Amino acid sequence: MLAYIIRRLLLIIPTIFGILLINFMIIQAAPGGPVEQMIAQLEGFEGGTSRISGSAAGDAATGSNYRGAQGLDPDIIAEIERMYGFDRPAHERFWMMIKGYLTFDFGDSFFRDTPVIDLIIEKMPVSISLGLWTTLITYLISIPLGIRKAVRHGSSFDVWTSSLIIVGYAIPGFLLAILLIVLFAGGSYLDWFPLRGLTSNNWGELSTWGKIKDYAWHLVLPITAMVIGSFATLTMLTKNCFLDEIGKQYVVTARAKGLSEGRVLYGHIFRNAMLLIIAGFPAALISVFFTGALLIEVIFSLDGLGLLGFEAAINRDYPVMFGTLYIFTLLGLIVKLIGDITYTLVDPRIDFASREG
Domain boundary among 103, 128, 146: 103
Q: Are residues 150 and 175 in the same domain?
A: yes
HEC-encoded secondary structure of 230-243? HHHHHHHHHHHHHH
User: Worst-scoring range by mean pLDDT, 155-169, 222-236, 329-343?
Assistant: 329-343
User: Worst-scoring range by mean pLDDT, 67-81, 320-334, 337-351?
Assistant: 67-81
CA dist 357 and 353 (Å) reads 6
Q: Are residues 226 and 336 in the same domain?
A: yes
- What phi, psi does 298 have (nearest 5°)? -65, -45
Domain presence at residue 14: no
Q: Are residues 287 and 260 in the same domain?
A: yes
Which of 13-27, 76-90, 109-123 is most confident?
Answer: 13-27
pLDDT at 18: 92
Flag whether pLDDT at 28 surpasses 50. yes
What residue spans of 257-317 are helical by DSSP H?
A: 261-264, 270-279, 281-286, 294-299, 305-315
Q: Are residues 146 and 247 in the same domain?
A: yes
Q: Are the CB atoms for 53 and 44 separated by under 8 Å? A: no
Q: Are residues 120 and 45 in the same domain?
A: no
Q: Supply the Cα-derived Rg of the chain in whole angstroms.
A: 26
Flag whether pLDDT at 122 surpasses 60. yes
Give 308-315 contacts, CB < 8 A, sequence gap 24+: 308/119, 308/120, 308/123, 312/109, 315/34, 315/37, 315/110, 315/111
Q: Residue 101, Cβ neighbours under 10 Å: how many?
A: 19
Q: Are residues 80 and 145 in the same domain?
A: no
Domain presence at residue 4: no
Domain presence at residue 63: yes
pLDDT at 59: 45
> Residue 324: in which H helix or E strand, if any?
helix 318-346
Q: Are residues 129 and 72 in the same domain?
A: no
Domain presence at residue 164: yes
Say what the pTM is. 0.72
CA dist 189 and 184 (Å) reads 7
pLDDT cut 90: percent of the chain above it: 4
Angle between helices 208-246 and 156-170 (to 10 degrees): 120
What's the CA angle centered on 275, arms 273 and 278, to 5 degrees? Answer: 120
pLDDT at 292: 54
Position with higher pLDDT, 113 vs 57: 113
Confidence of residue 46 (pLDDT cuts 50, 70, 90): very low
pLDDT at 88: 80
Q: Are residues 274 and 340 in the same domain?
A: yes
Domain presence at residue 12: no
Domain boundary among 73, 103, 133: 103
Q: Are residues 245 and 173 in the same domain?
A: yes
Q: Are residues 244 and 124 in the same domain?
A: yes
Q: Are residues 186 and 213 in the same domain?
A: yes
Q: Of 114, 133, 102, whose CA–CA distance to 308 is shortest?
A: 114
Domain presence at residue 111: no
Domain boundary among 46, 74, 103: 103
Query: What percent of the chain is helix, strand and coil (3-state, nearest 5)?
Result: 75, 0, 25
User: Worst-scoring range by mean pLDDT, 146-155, 239-248, 290-299, 302-311?
Assistant: 290-299
CA dist 312 and 324 (Å) reads 9
Range of the domain at 185: 116-356
pLDDT at 188: 72
pLDDT, mean over the chain: 78
Flag whether pLDDT at 204 surpasses 50. yes
Q: Are the CB atoms for 3 and 353 separated by under 8 Å? A: yes
pLDDT at 269: 82
Number of separate domains in the chain = 2
Flag whether pLDDT at 227 surpasses 80. yes
The per-residue pLDDT for range 61-100, each reduced to its tens digit, is 444 555 555 556 677 777 777 777 777 888 888 898 888 8
Q: Are residues 292 and 342 in the same domain?
A: yes
Domain presence at residue 207: yes
Residues 6+ apart with CB under 8 A from 107: 97, 100, 115, 116, 319, 323
Flag whether pLDDT at 146 surpasses 80. yes
Domain presence at residue 110: no
